[in-house]
């Protein structure tokens, strides 16, 4: 086996205290998706959207990685082949755990983006509507987050990795949001074995050949030990 591609979602950060989206009491039970995770919502009420992400940036800053994040670091360090980590998460817990290569397909709380010139820079802890872009000076700063209707990052690179993955693992994601929800089918079509890690079988659960049910902080360390043979 030469290449393992791993997709993570909000479930891997749940045990670090960060909320998921669609679980009971999750972020989408507290906020309307259209209000806080679409470009139209941002146009209508930028204060609300900035507050939503300022709050989550503050929560993420104090959160600590858990045993699930750390198991993937061990895999990246000790696996003889290539480990590719794609995350839908906008927190930085994979990096805090020590992961060297992380693709944030839905952006990152740590980033700011200019809606006028697409310049990117590190986000301050508190962003406000009308903050100026340091490059073009337009008052057009927004969080560097991929909202519904926008193109996720690194899609060409991701599909290249899915084309020659030997093993595809999906961790803590409900499989409701595309294009990430389609990665399992893409990987299978290209001959990869597929495994899902979740508390319960997800919406896309039937598409996976293997399933490890339980908290990722327990199932991932066990899986990594199996893969590494120790
Ligand atoms: C545990 C656990 C523990 C809990 N251990 N597990 C109709 C059909 C198909 C597609 C579309 C359609 N209509 C519109 C679309 C496209 C749309 C889409 O998918 N909509 C769906 C709602 C249908 N997608 C888009 O618009 C995307 N862009 C796009 O498609 O561009 C065009 C394109 C086409 C083709 C190729 C390329 C591009 C953009 C999507 C942007 C998503 N943005 C968000 C918010 C921004 C980020 C943020 O604020 O954080 O990203 S939405 C939100 O959902 C967030 C997440 O990254 C994403 C996925 O959520 P996730 O991670 O799965 O969380 P949950 O809560 O859903 O699940 C948690 C899971 O963990 C659960 O299963 C638990 O059981 C589990 N769990 N604890 C293990 N301890």
- Least confident range of 11-15, 25-29, 180-184, 201-205: 201-205
Q: How many domains does the chain have?
A: 2
Segment holding 34, helix H or strand E = helix 33-36
Ligand 1 pocket, mutate which of 150, 152, 177, 183 (most atoms under 8 A from CB): 177
* pLDDT score at 201: 83
The residue whose CA has the least distance to atom 36 of ligand 1 is 179
Ligand 1 centroid to residue 149 C-alpha, Å:
12
Q: How far apart are CA 180 and CA 122, in angstroms?
A: 25
- Which residues are catalytically annotated? 106
Ligand 1 centroid to residue 177 C-alpha, Å:
3
Residues 224 and 158 in one domain: yes
The residue whose CA has the least distance to atom 44 of ligand 1 is 147
Q: How far apart are CA 174 and CA 202, in angstroms?
A: 5
The residue whose CA has the least distance to atom 34 of ligand 1 is 179
pLDDT of 179-206, one tens digit each? 999 999 999 999 999 999 999 988 788 9
Specify the CATH number for the domain of residue 34: 3.30.1600.10
Strand order in the sheet with 107-114: 120-122, 107-114, 141-145
CB proximity list for 135: less than 8 A, separation 6 or greater: 114, 117, 119, 121
- Residues 115-138, mean pLDDT to the nearest whole number: 98
Residues 90 and 128 in one domain: no
Query: What tokens were used for 178?
Result: 């595309």
Q: Which atom of ligand 1 approaches the CA of 89 most closely?
A: 57
Structural domain of 203:
3-18+66-106+153-228
* pLDDT score at 205: 85
Task: Provide the whole-model pTM.
Answer: 0.97
Ligand 1 centroid to residue 203 C-alpha, Å:
12
Q: What percent of the chain has pLDDT over 90?
A: 96
Ligand 1 centroid to residue 173 C-alpha, Å:
8
* pLDDT score at 202: 82
Residues 140 and 178 in one domain: no
Residues 220 and 162 in one domain: yes
pLDDT of 152-164, one tens digit each? 999 999 999 999 9
Q: Cα 34 from chain centroid?
A: 19
* pLDDT score at 106: 98
* pLDDT score at 230: 79
Q: Residues with beta carbon inside 6 Å of ligand 1?
A: 9-11, 14-15, 20-23, 26, 37, 88, 90, 106, 145-152, 155, 172-174, 176-179, 197-200, 202, 215-216
Residues 194 and 134 in one domain: no
Ligand 1 centroid to residue 88 C-alpha, Å:
7
> What are the backbone dihedrals phi and psi of residue 224, each rounded to the nearest 5 degrees, phi first?
-65, -40
* pLDDT score at 204: 82
pLDDT of 75-118, one tens digit each? 999 999 999 999 999 999 999 999 999 999 999 999 999 999 99
Specify the CATH number for the domain of residue 13: 3.40.50.1220
* pLDDT score at 8: 98
Residues 95 and 113 in one domain: no
Res 31 pLDDT > 90: yes
* pLDDT score at 185: 97
Residues 34 and 95 in one domain: no
Residues 130 and 72 in one domain: no
Q: How far apart are CA 50 and CA 139, in angstroms?
A: 14
The residue whose CA has the least distance to atom 23 of ligand 1 is 177
End position of a domain, from candidates 98, 120, 145:
145
Are residues 19 and 98 in contact, defined by beta-carbon separation less than 8 angstroms? no
Dihedral sign for Cα atoms in the order 180, 186, 188, 191: negative
Supply the mean pLDDT for the chain.
Answer: 97
């Amino acid at each position: 086996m030469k290449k393992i591609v791993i997709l993570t979602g909000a479930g891997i950060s749940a045990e670090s205290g960060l909320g998921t989206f669609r679980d009971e009491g999750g972020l989408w039970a507290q906020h309307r998706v259209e209000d806080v995770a679409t470009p139209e919502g941002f146009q209508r009420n930028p204060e609300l959207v900035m507050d939503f992400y300022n709050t989550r940036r503050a929560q993420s800053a104090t959160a600590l990685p858990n045993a699930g994040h750390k198991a993937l670091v061990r895999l990246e360090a000790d696996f003889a082949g290539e480990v590719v980590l794609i995350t839908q998460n906008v927190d930085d817990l994979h990096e805090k755990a020590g992961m060297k290569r992380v693709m944030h397909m839905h952006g990152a709380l740590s980033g700011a983006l200019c809606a006028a010139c697409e310049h990117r820079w590190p986000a301050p802890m508190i962003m406000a509507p009308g903050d100026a872009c340091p490059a073009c000076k337009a008052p057009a700063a927004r969080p560097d987050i991929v909202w519904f209707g926008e193109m996720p990052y690194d899609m060409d690179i991701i599909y290249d990795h899915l084309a020659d993955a030997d093993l595809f693992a999906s961790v803590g994601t409900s499989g409701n949001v595309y294009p990430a929800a389609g990665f399992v089918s893409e990987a299978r079509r290209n001959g990869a074995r597929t495994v899902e890690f979740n508390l319960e079988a997800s919406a896309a659960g039937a598409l996976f050949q293997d399933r490890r049910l339980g908290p990722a902080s327990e199932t991932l360390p066990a899986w990594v030990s199996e893969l590494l043979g120790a």
